[in-house]
Amino acid sequence: MEAIFPTWAYGVVCLASALISALSAPFWIRSAQRLGLIDHPGARKIHARPMPLVGGLIVATGLLIPMLGALALVKLALLDAPLLELSSYGLNQRTLQLAGLFAGALAMLGLGIVDDRSALSARPKLVAQFLIALLVTSTGTRVTLFIPNPLVSYLITILWFLTLINAFNFTDNMNGLCTGLAAISALTFAVHAALPSHYLVATIGFLVAGALLGYLPFNYPNAKTFLGDSGSHLVGYLIAAIAVLPHFHHPEQPNKWGVISPLLILGLVWIDFAWVILYRLWHRCPIYIGDTNHLSHQLVRRGFSPPAAVAALWLTHATLCLSSFLLTRSP
């Protein structure tokens, strides 16, 4: 393809997604009671009043409306010729993969909503996560790691999705933490994809980042709504997907060490997840029962206010994300 995807389009996608996400928030907050998506105060909860659990619906709205709008522009041929040519080509090449990704996103959102309403036990929730990950993997979103074995590729990808979905769920322990970490991650993956002109993958990354950034003011520092399991499940799923989509090793970037970039970009999430799991195992506590031993809680116990602790973790996470560019661009 000789046409070059315009960089301004990424900004438009991100801004549109953020605006729609933010504009939809009041509607979903008002609808929370009718939908049965309310988190009531309790013994293990720090909020003093009922909180709407509609973060997932807000983020999903910020994703789906711009996506449908873009598809309409392509189908009606309302874009300028080079942009229309590139968009049509990318969509045609990845139709099945994109359909699987967005079907999986809706399924993960639905699973989270059921969990928010009915408090599912760990086993059926994990089975549902596995089936959704299998669906997405079967439509072409897979990790290869230079191993030409489809079974290994399937297993690694499904494990990747399951781990990240639950790791991001673990980070949803203070206002804005999960949302901010995911937004920074999405922006980083989007830029990684945009630099070698993987424009379709980059567009998805900026779309996800915009939806999260539009929701963030409603979740930090003083939350008007929580992500809930619907939101944290969706966030973890989306980041897992856009981490798999970019090609970190390709002819223009032959450094094979680039393939470990997603581990570095998500380093803080992995560290928190591993620390909490090991802590619970060491103290013979159920892994799936929440506690106050996350990195954010450790900072608060050392004198940080909750918003400051979250901001400090955002900054640390952003530093790791920036360092990933040194890894991928090194000779």
Bigger pLDDT: 198 vs 258:
198
What's the average model confidence in pLDDT over 257-284?
A: 87
Query: Does position 329 have pLDDT exceeding 50, yes or no?
Result: yes
Q: Check residue 96 and give its pLDDT.
A: 84
Taking only the tens place, the pLDDT of each residue in 135-181 is 999 988 877 666 677 888 889 999 999 999 999 999 999 999 999 99
Per the CB < 8 A criterion, the answer to whether 113 and 28 are in contact is no
Q: Check residue 77 and give its pLDDT.
A: 62
Taking only the tens place, the pLDDT of each residue in 202-245 is 999 999 999 999 999 999 999 999 999 999 999 999 999 999 87
Query: Does position 1 have pLDDT exceeding 50, yes or no?
Result: no
Other residues' Cβ atoms within 10 Å of the Cβ of residue 138: 13
Per the CB < 8 A criterion, the answer to whether 122 and 130 are in contact is no
Q: Rounded to an integer, what distance in angstroms lies between the CA atom of residue 193 and that of residue 178? A: 22
Ordered DSSP codes for 51-81? EE--HHHHHHHHHHHHHHHHHHHHHTT-S-H
Query: Does position 251 have pLDDT exceeding 60, yes or no?
Result: no
b/e 264-293 (16+ beta carbons within 10 angstroms → b): bbbbbbbebbeebeeebeeeeeeeeeeeeb
Q: Check residue 295 and give its pLDDT.
A: 93
Least confident interval from 13-27, 29-43, 82-96, 99-113: 82-96
What's the average model confidence in pLDDT over 256-272?
A: 84
Q: Check residue 290 and give its pLDDT.
A: 77
Taking only the tens place, the pLDDT of each residue in 49-88 is 789 999 999 999 999 999 888 888 777 665 666 666 666 6
Prediction pTM value? 0.91
Q: Check residue 195 and give its pLDDT.
A: 84
What's the average model confidence in pLDDT over 102-117?
A: 94
Q: Check residue 147 and give its pLDDT.
A: 65
Q: Where are the alpha helices (DSSP H) in the chain?
A: 7-35, 55-75, 81-93, 95-118, 122-138, 150-171, 177-194, 199-215, 228-244, 261-265, 267-282, 295-301, 306-329
DSSP state of 283: T
Q: Check residue 50 and give its pLDDT.
A: 85
Bigger pLDDT: 113 vs 260:
113
Mean pLDDT score across all residues of the chain:
87
